[in-house]
Structure formats: C-alpha cells, structure tokens
Amino acid sequence: MNDLVIRGATVVDGLGNEPRRADVAVKDGKIADIGNIRGGDRTIDAGGLTLSPGIVDVHTHYDAQVTWDATLSPSPSLGVTTAVMGNCGFGIVPAPADARDLVIRNLSVVEGMDLDALRTGITWDFESFSDYMAMLRRRAPYANVAVLAGHSTIRTAVMGEAASQRKDATPEEIARMKAMVADAMANGAIGLGASYSLNHSGYGGVPMPSTIAPMEELDALVGAMGPRGRGVVAIASGVKTPQELEPMAARHGRPFFQGTGVAMYNEQAPDRAIKIFDDCAAAIRRGNGLYIQIPCQPLSFDFTMANAYPFYSHSAFDPIKAYAPEQLKAVFRDASWRATFRENAKTPRPGMIFQGNWDRVMVAVTHKPGNARYTNRYLHEIAAAEHRDPLDVMLDLALDENLETAFLGRFLNVGDDGVARLLKHEAGVVALSDAGAHLIYMCDAGFGLHFLARWVRERGDFDIVEGIRRLTSHPADLYGIQNRGRIAVGAQADLLLFDPATVGVSPAERVADLPGGGRRTIRKPTGVHGVFCNGVMTFDGKGYVEHAKGPGQVLDRFNASRGGHNLALAAQ
C-alpha cells in the first residue's frame, strides 16, 4: 500500500518532458508510481493543479537559523525542498569556543543578520564539521540541507582576528586549514564556499577573511577537497574573471559556481555581464565547469542609514560600519565625510552593489508628517525639484527622522530583456536567493515562485516545462545532488503542488519573530497548495504542518563531476 497518492495532477517532471495528467504515488519517501493509481493510505485530489519537483535553492544562509528554527522559514512555504547552506564561505563551523563570537559578529554585518538574535538563538552544541552535521540530523529540518565548508569560517577558526588582518597565512596555518577542509569533505560537505567580493566586510568594517587571502590559499584548499571531480566550489567571485578561475577548475576537475554583481545585468554597462557568461560557456566547452549563479529578481535592498549595507563596499563606510546610531549621526553631519562618500559614488568599481545610481534609490517610508511628501519618490527626483544633491537629500532626511527613514534601492539586475538573456544562458544557474540572510533589508527566498510568475506566466521567456527544469533538476544535477529535482519512479518525493495561474510571492512583510524579538523581512506564497519533502507535507498552502521530527534529510553523498563536458550535457 502506498503512503500517499496525489490524484489528477498535471505532472511537470523537472526533466524536460511534456506535462501529463497523472496520479503520483509515494511510498517510504520515494516516488513509487506515476499513472492511474488505485489505493493509498492518504490521497490528495489535485484537481488539475500542477505537480512539480520541489525547488532546489543552491544559495542560502540558513547555517545559524537552522539551530533554532527547524522549519527554515520561509523557504519551505515558498516551494523549496532542498537548500545548500554555507555560501560565500560564511558558515558557523568549525566553531572553536574562542572564535564563536567573532564569527557571528562578522556574520551579522556581512549577511545583514540581527546580532542579538544570533547570540540568543544559536546553541553551540557543535565544534567540528561532523558535530555540526550531527546537530542538523538531531534538529531534523523541514527541507533537505547540504552544507558547504566555509573558507572565511575556517580561516577564522585557525587565525582568529588575524584572519581579517593578515593576507598571508603561515605554512602551518595553511596545513590546518587544509585539514579542516578535508575533514568537512570526509563528513559530507557538498563542497567549499569562498568570497572575493568587494561588498563582503565584517564587523567594524574589517574585510571578511577569505577576501584578503591570496588565490594560492584558495587553490590549496580546493586541492584539499579530495580526488578530482569531488565537490563543488561556490564562490562570490567579485571582480575575479573566468580567466583567473578556469585554471583552478581545470587543475582540480571540479566546477566553480560564481555569484557576483559584475555578472548581473547593469544598464550602465549592458554588455559586461553577457561577456562573462560567454567566457564561462567557452570554458565549459573546454571541459572546465564555470557557471554563474544568476538571480531572477532585481538586486533590491530596503535599508535605513542606521544599517546602510548597500553602501558598505565604498571606502567612506569602512571605519563606521559597526557604529551605533548616535555615532553615525555625527559622521553623517560632517561635510568632509559627505564629500568623501560623494566622490566614492562618482567612481564605483564593477561588482559594487551601489553604482552611484541615485535614480534607483527611493524613499519608501517616512515617519514625520512633514516628510510624507517624499514617500515613494526617487532621490534624484527630489534633488532636482529642490536644487540639492541626492546624497544630501538622503542624509538630511535620515537625520531628521533619527535614522529611521526607510529607503528602497533597486541596484542591479534591473531591465527584463537584459536579465532574460542571462537567465536563458547555458552558463547560468537560477540562484542567489540569499535565503536566511539580509533579513533586515530584503527576502528573496521566494525566487522560484517569482520565476514561475514573472518569467514563465507573465513574460513567457520560459515555458513551464523549461521553467520547472531550471528550478529543479538543473541545479540538482550540476551540484551532484542525487535523486532530487525530478518526478520519476525511485526519486525522492520532494514535490510542489501549485496553481500556475496564481503562483507567486507576496510583497515583503516585517515580523518580529527572531530570538530575542529581533525583526526580519519575509514573503508569503500565493497559489501554493502543498509542499512535500521526502513524501511528507511540510506546508499545506496556509501554514506549516507540525511535525515532531522534520522530514528533511541531511545530504552527505553527492554525484561526482567529471568537469565541464558532462555538466554541459546536464544543462541541455
């Protein structure tokens, strides 16, 4: 007898096959049959709704949140059944006691997390990577999780505060880092995360550790991952070019997945991103796996000047990132500081979030009645009307409202036709949700539902068959995630039941549900009728289904890659 039968669904299998009306049976967490099925302990009448594999999110930051929230909210409600954590090299393991607060202080800044929530919420019942994996199995999350070993976290565990101060590690320190990478891989890491991003600074403005490490150090750590083809490298590559990364991918025979603002569509340099994608495609044809994680949403942040993350890559902010509001007010009033930031904004570097485009920064929420006239207007528009500089408009308004004015910036990946070209590219992987991070500013965890609404239903850049494949089997196969992202007999029953006519995500909402009452930004699904992880419903369309033990599995075995040729086939 089957455990579950979903009847009368339009099945889109994630593998590129045409949709078909069928029943899907689940037994012991796997898909047992597809067709006209009788019997089952439990049945669900799909009534013609679409049944697809669950969404595979390869770029999340749930490393800390999972220690207090097994649901991994809000991702499972948004259709995600598999999440890869530890991206950019910013995890919380290894966790020697004397490095823990340093790690989470840096994490609070670089990934926009509430520091008090991290200090209150994390239970440090782990130290080594194997301890962390055991903790995950005890926590039993609502989605399958895979974990990247983190370059910055490992560097911090070995070097302490010097990890952000000293470029060159000693041979002994390199040896200890390599041993930690090897240990992580031996205990089930999916690969290695790292960053060279200009936007990645930690507490007090210090550079995140991996961003100052020489490429030779990264090469040594990639080499410590084990035999050729084992594991992936997920790198916030900053301004590192495909030409710089390809030799390392070739030498070690494992694919690199890059996330960088340089490879997002930018109307100010419309041909730059596509050139990077084409260079990666050429590397793939040479047998070297180089891919770009491309977001399907604009890179948008809502922020206040008390937490001005979008500007942190500009040098004027280096000494003040960890300042308290009263300290910031004094700085923002200073004419010389304003002049410095004004010059920064005139000469942005590729890869920075804020490119000096004040026409993309809007006043979202004001708090004084006299300032209501500014709401929903862009800074350049206000500045032109009042014959002022946009920077002065922003700072004067923020100071007038105790730094509580909310601004909204739409900085990169704006312009549907340009973005569509990148999303369709053979070297692209739909990703970069950053789920679990930047909670003060945004929530892009619903990227998959947005993709189905915007790029499939509204614009038609993808039909539903290819749209589903791009969110499911495509990332799963490229990352070597076994038996996921497909509806096929014998595959794990990770499923998403939805209405293609209404699927999407709600506007952002602010809630205060973090440990200690901290606030975060979430989104809610529309058109979702059920999410199943290993055959168990986690979200019923209205709320999470309560389980004493979550159905997600801690993934620790992955298919090996043989370089770019087989990955190119997987992308077809």
Q: Is residue 135 a contact partner of residue 202, using CB atoms and an 8 Å limit?
A: no
Q: Burial of 11 by CB count in 10 Å (0-12 exposed, 13-18 middle, 19+ buried)?
A: buried
User: Hey, how many other C-beta atoms are within 10 angstroms of the C-beta on 123?
Assistant: 9
Alpha carbon distance 327, 262 (integer Å): 33
The pLDDT tens digits for 405-431 are: 989 898 889 899 999 999 999 999 999
Nearest CA among 15, 141, 29 for reference residue 85: 141
Q: pLDDT by residue (tens digit) across 88-147?
A: 999 999 999 999 999 999 999 889 899 999 999 999 999 999 999 999 999 999 999 999
Percent of the chain clearing pLDDT 90 (strictly above): 86
Instruction: Tell me the three state secondary structure of residue 125.
Output: coil
Half-sphere exposure of 36 (CA within 13 A, CB side): 0
- The CATH number of the structural domain formed by 55-298+413-481 is 3.20.20.140
pLDDT of residue 179: 98
Please count the helices (runs of H) and the strands (runs of E) in the chain: 18, 24
Share the mean pLDDT of the chain. Answer: 94
Average pLDDT over residues 60-85: 98
**Sequence ranges of the domains in the chain:** 55-298+413-481, 302-408
pLDDT single digits (tens) 161-201:
999 999 999 999 999 999 999 999 999 999 999 999 988 98
Beta bridge partners of 207: 201
At 286, is the secondary structure helix, strand, or coil? coil
pLDDT tier, 565 (very low <50, low <70, confident <90, very high otherwise): very low
Largest pairwise CA distance in the chain: 76
pLDDT digits (tens, 9 = 90+) for 426-466: 999 999 999 999 887 789 999 999 999 999 999 999 999 99
Looking at residue 567, what is its pLDDT? 40
What pLDDT score was predicted for residue 376?
Answer: 86
Q: What is the mean pLDDT of residues 3-15?
A: 97
Contacts of 156 (CB under 8 A, 6+ apart): 99, 102, 103, 106, 163, 164, 209
Q: Would you state the structure tokens that stand for residue 468, as one six-digit string?
A: 């589903």
